[in-house]
Copies of this chain bind each other. A is one copy, B any other.
Amino acid sequence: MGVFSKTCEYAMRAVFFIAHRTTAGERVGIREIAAGIDSPEAFLAKIMQDLTRRGIVNSIKGPNGGFYMDAASLKKPLSEVVLAVDGDGIFVGCGMGLEYCSAVNPCPLHNEFMEIRTRIQKMMQENTIGDFNEELNLGILSLKK
């Protein structure tokens, strides 16, 4: 397994994909998103339902409907997606799963892990979803397998 759950990987890719399209003013259907990020369509639909309920993306039903993001959503940090899907497990808590573990009562890995976690958190909080668009627009980055 990687750092994030598969669900979270799909969610991040989907959000980037929609953000990219939204800057062009479009709405995107679930089929196109799934194809664009190489994910199972029905499973992604479930994930999108959740992201929509939580207000991370917006959606409209019916013809010409689909998913999109407003300006406010584009300014949200990527950490919101991770928190919504995986919870705060990667940001907080002990690397060895010890509940007591803290600066006062550290586990063997505590200090080293602190730095790494802080770093992940920083990266996820400082980068907004919209931040990646420019590079995607230039075709430097990709979302497909």
Whether B106 pairs with A2 at a CB distance below 8 angstroms is no
In the complex, whether A35 has a CB less than 8 A from a CB of chain B is no
Whether B98 pairs with A144 at a CB distance below 8 angstroms is yes
Interface-lining segment among A8-16, A51-59, A61-69: A8-16
CB-CB contacts below 8 Å: A1-60 with B: 1-6, 9-10, 12-13, 16
Contact of A9 among B3, B12, B96, B145 (CB under 8 A): B96
Whether B141 pairs with A108 at a CB distance below 8 angstroms is yes
30 contacting pairs across A/B (C-beta < 8 A): A1-B5, A1-B86, A1-B87, A1-B89, A1-B90, A2-B89, A2-B90, A2-B93, A2-B94, A3-B95, A3-B113, A4-B96, A9-B95, A9-B97, A12-B109, A13-B97, A96-B143, A98-B142, A98-B144, A99-B145, A100-B142, A106-B140, A108-B141, A109-B123, A112-B123, A115-B119, A116-B116, A116-B119, A116-B120, A116-B123
